[in-house]
């Protein structure tokens, strides 16, 4: 009973995703392995941005600086790897640390100044944007070839026939591993509980002995880490660094909402928003395939969001009455 209630939203989203995949196949009969692969690769930065937003929103905050942090991570990686100046492995490590640091700075400012999350991260949106442009004035830099290959093509496992695993995009596997490595241990730790606790009821959390300030900083820090992964994925797939932040901020909030995470904090998981990212990407792809006017596309995307959240709310009310 409880697991159905908890997972109802995800089951609904998966059904929606399946429906959209079928629709795609109908619209474009030769949609197959390569279509799936490019969809997954395009969704990668959006998925990391959504993951970053999820953890902050669950902790009761919101981070408007995610896209800017991604830009900083992207240009830093591109500059470091340009011409093979720094080994790619080291670059990845440095950029991930940089992301966590940027997040920690966001969180510390919120805790120390007691200025609301939305104001601090709005300010940091501009700060990180400026930092990215200082590092790299125009799109450029480079990326190691083997890094790029990690997210291109299908999965090949030695010993298995390519037809068994080849249809799974590598980028999807990378996404799942990167998210799971952070999220699964976090959900099983007291820090994870504390993050849900401060988002749910800050006073009760304080009285239960949770260090509220430190937990909030940690949540923003993990968000920074995910944002750095998003920035890296941008550099990996394009081969260059892009100092101007992409459309990832509002997309991340959209995925969080569509993914069943309550904006007030304390409720929701990572799986829903990640599925929501794919749903939103697929909708856009289908409408493009149908050669719908791009302006109409955004109208439809917005409408889907409101309708889905409304239906979810109605179902929740009905199940409570019963």
Partner 1 sequence: MTEIGAASPILDASGVSKRFGAVVALNDASLQVASGEIVALMGANGAGKSTFVKILTGALRPDGGHVRIRGRDRIVASPAEARQSGLVPVYQEPSLIPDLDVADNLRLGRTPVEPVLHWIQELGLGGLRLDDMIGQLPLATLRILDLARALASKPDVLLLDEMTAALPTDLVERVLKVVRRQAEEGRSVIYISHRFAEIAELCDRATVLRDGATVGNVQIEPGVEERIVELMLGASMKPGETAKKKQAVRQDGATAPPRLRVKGLGAGAKLSDVSFEMGRGEVLGVVALEGQGQDELFEVLAGFQRPDAGTIEIDGQAVSFSHPADAIRAGHTLVPGNRADALLMQQSVRDNIALPFSARPKNWGRIAMRGEGERVANAIERLQIDTRAQGELRRLSGGNQQKVTIGRWIATGVETLLLFDPTRGIDVRTKRQIYPLVRDLAGQGASILFYTSELEEIQLACDRVVVIFGGKVFDIMDAAEADEQTLMRAAYGLTGKALPGAAEVRQG
Interface contacts to partner 1, rule CB under 8 A: 2, 190, 193-194, 196-197, 199-201, 203-211, 266-267
> Helix, strand, coil: what percent of the chain each, to 5?
75, 0, 20
Residue closer to partner 1 (CB basis): 2 or 322: 2
Q: How far apart are CA 177 and CA 175, in angstroms?
A: 6
- Residue 36's nearest CA partner among 181, 165, 208, 198 is 165
Nearest approach in angstroms of CB 3 to partner 1 is 9
Q: How far apart are CA 174 and CA 180, in angstroms?
A: 10
Nearest approach in angstroms of CB 2 to partner 1 is 6
Residue closer to partner 1 (CB basis): 148 or 267: 267
Residue closer to partner 1 (CB basis): 5 or 93: 5
Nearest approach in angstroms of CB 35 to partner 1 is 39
- Residue 41's nearest CA partner among 303, 281, 288 is 281
Nearest approach in angstroms of CB 7 to partner 1 is 14
φ, ψ for residue 226, nearest 5 deg? -65, -40
**Burial group, residue 183, by CB count within 10 angstroms (0-12, 13-18, 19+):** buried
Residue closer to partner 1 (CB basis): 9 or 46: 9
Nearest approach in angstroms of CB 261 to partner 1 is 11
Residue closer to partner 1 (CB basis): 212 or 289: 212
CB atoms within 10 A of CB 35: 17
């Amino acid at each position: 009973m409880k697991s159905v209630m908890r997972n109802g939203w995800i089951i609904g989203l998966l059904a929606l995703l399946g429906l959209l995949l079928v629709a795609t196949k109908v619209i474009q009969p030769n949609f197959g392995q390569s279509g799936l692969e490019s969809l997954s690769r395009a969704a990668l930065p959006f998925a990391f941005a959504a993951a970053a937003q999820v953890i902050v929103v669950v902790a009761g905050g919101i981070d408007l600086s995610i896209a800017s942090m991604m830009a900083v991570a992207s240009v830093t990686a591109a500059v470091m790897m340009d011409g093979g100046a720094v080994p790619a492995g080291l670059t990845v490590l440095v950029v991930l640390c940089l992301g966590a640091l940027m997040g920690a700075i966001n969180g510390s400012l919120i805790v120390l100044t007691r200025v609301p999350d939305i104001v601090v991260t709005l300010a940091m949106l501009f700060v990180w944007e400026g930092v990215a442009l200082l590092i790299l004035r125009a799109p450029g830099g480079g990326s190691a070839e083997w890094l790029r290959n990690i997210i291109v093509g299908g999965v090949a496992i030695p010993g298995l026939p390519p037809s068994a695993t080849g249809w799974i995009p590598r980028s999807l596997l990378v996404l799942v591993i990167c998210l799971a490595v952070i999220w699964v241990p976090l959900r099983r730790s007291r820090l994870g509980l504390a993050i849900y606790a401060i988002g749910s009821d800050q006073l009760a959390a304080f009285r239960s002995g949770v260090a509220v300030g430190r937990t909030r900083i940690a949540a923003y820090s993990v968000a920074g880490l995910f944002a750095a992964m998003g920035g890296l994925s941008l550099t990996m797939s394009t081969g260059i660094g892009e100092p101007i932040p992409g459309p990832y901020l509002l997309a991340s909030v959209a995925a969080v909402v569509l993914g069943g995470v309550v904006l007030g904090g304390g409720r929701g998981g990572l799986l829903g928003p990640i599925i929501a990212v794919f749903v939103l990407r697929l909708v856009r792809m289908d409408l493009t395939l149908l050669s719908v006017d791009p302006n109409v596309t955004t109208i439809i995307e917005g409408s889907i969001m409101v309708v889905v959240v409304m239906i979810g709310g109605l179902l929740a009310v009905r199940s409570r009455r019963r």
